[in-house]
Structure 1
Amino acid sequence: MLLQDKTVVVTGGNSGIGEAIVLAVAAQGANVVVDFVAHPEETSSLIAKVEAAGGHAIGVKADVSRPADLHTMIGKAVDSYGRLDVLINNAGIETRTSLLDTTEADFDKVVAVNLKSAFFATQIAAKQFISQGGGGLVLNISSVHEDWPMPGNIAYCVSKGGVRMLTRTAGVELGPHDIRVVNIAPGAVATPINASTEDDPAKMKQLEAAIPLQRMAQPSDIADVVAFLASGRARYMTATTVVIDGGIMQGSVGL
């Protein structure tokens, strides 16, 4: 297995892309720490699935926008499994508001969850990697909207643009410590964050027409790539973004 006995932390791990990542890395032998901030019953159900398949997972309730909670999360991973090997910064939110309508509270919340959390989780994980030795990996789940404007969702785009530059700069800074930082930029994925689109046949028809592969991604489409990137087979990749979008950035202007 590609991740046998590796310890992997997944933020926002009990739904959507995060849940699929947990299942994918556990299937490759990883010990998984599932971060969540709500719906503990979903976390318990996910852990039961992992264990039923012969894997190992624990849940940790942590608000990723709070660095103190991130310290607790990383500490729990090390206490439970002896070390940290991979951090996956997956937690994310959006407001679907324009520049003219976004409030200060909207902006602060999106940036705190999407960007501030990734920054400080990367910092905390990097210090753990250095102290234990042997290098490590940070995977950031960003979005095609780190580079592709999405009118009407500006705070989200700004936060994801920051994640892209965090990945590039942290990857350069941490390379001498054998710590890699890689960004994953999904396109449209069938998760709760896109439920309003999925519920509107006209919007779905427009979206699918804009995607060269003619379908919205499933969370497993992203998770399978994440599991590969987390393995030693992607050992020479850092400070870069892997786009998983079905070709939408090449096949359409912004939706």
Structure 2
Amino acid sequence: MGYNSGSQRAQKLCNEIRRECNIEATPIFIGLDHPRHVNNRFHDIIAEHGPIGYLVNNAGANDRSSGFSLDAKRLDEILTINLKSPLLLTSATGSYFVKNGIKGAIVNITSVHDKIPISGGALYCASKGDLQLPLEH
């Protein structure tokens, strides 16, 4: 299971998965705040841990900046974690599935706020709404 931050939460979830589902689960740092490295990191993970059959993008940095005072730096940070890196992971995973003949699954978990605005949620809502774009093969 990949994570960007929250290594203790990732470890706890992996322990629960092992206990409840009797399957191996390992927390793996990915670094979603550095999108230029996502593709290489994806391939490093495959090389180290073996093939995968699914990807679940569940990253989310929630920002409550007012839509009337958006900051360009914060906009880039939120879009990087909530949109750019998940799309790059989706692209790398989809390409990997096609190249290797894997009938895998990719799930992008967004938020109810991709359609239902929240006060001060301009950046979060926009980033989650954009993650619903379909990819075609």
Of 67, 72, 76, which residue of structure 2 is paired with 1:99? 67
Residue segments in structure 2 that go unaligned for 5+ positions in a row:
none
| Counterpart AA for 1:59 | I
Query: What are the equivalent positions in structure 2 for 1:36-51 lying under 5 Å apart?
Result: none
Q: 1:14 aligns with which of 7, 16, 33?
A: 7
The TM-score normalised by the length of structure 2 is: 0.81
Partner Cα separation in structure 1 for residue 12 and residue 128 of structure 2: 21
- 1:86 and 2:44 equivalent? no
Does the 8 A contact of 1:77 with 1:84 survive in 2? no
**How many Å separate the matches in 2 of 1:122 and 1:81?**
18
Higher strand residue share:
1
Provide Cα deviations, 1:197-218, integer angstroms capped at 9, x if missing partner.
Answer: xxxxxxxxxxxxxxxxxxxxxx
Alignment of 1:19-168 (within 5 A): 22-23=14-15, 25-26=17-18, 27-30=20-23, 55-60=24-29, 62-164=30-132, 166=133
Verify the 8 A CA contact 1:84 1:128 in the aligned structure 2.
no
Change (3 A) 1:149 1:15: farther
C-alpha distance in structure 1 between counterparts of 2:89 and 2:48, whole Å = 18
Q: Give me the identity figure in percent.
A: 24
CA root-mean-square deviation: 2.4
Bigger relative CO (Cα 8 Å, ≥ 6 apart): 2
TM-superposed deviation, 1:20: 6.5
| Unaligned segments of structure 1, at least 5 residues | 1-8, 31-54, 175-255
**Cα displacement string for residues 62-96 of structure 1 (whole angstroms, at most 9, x for unaligned residues):** 32143342223322331233212111212221221
- Which secondary structure state, in structure 2, belongs to the residue aligned with residue 101 of structure 1? coil
When the two structures are superposed, what TM-score results if normalisation uses the length of structure 1?
0.47
Paired amino acid for 1:10 = G
**CA drift at 1:154:** 0.7
- Structure 1 residue 142 displacement after superposition: 1.2
Q: How does 1:199-214 map to 2 (within 5 A)?
A: none
Deviations 1:124-172 (A, max 9, x none): 11111112212211122211101101121110000011012x2xx12xx
Aligned letter for 2:84?
A: K
Answer yes or no: is the 8 Å Cα contact 2:14–2:25 preserved in 1. no
Secondary structure of 1:57's counterpart equals coil
Relative to structure 1, is the Cα distance of residues 56 and 147 closer, same or farther in structure 2, using a 3 angstrom cutoff?
Answer: closer
Runs of at least 4 residues off by over 2 Å: 9-16, 18-30, 65-69
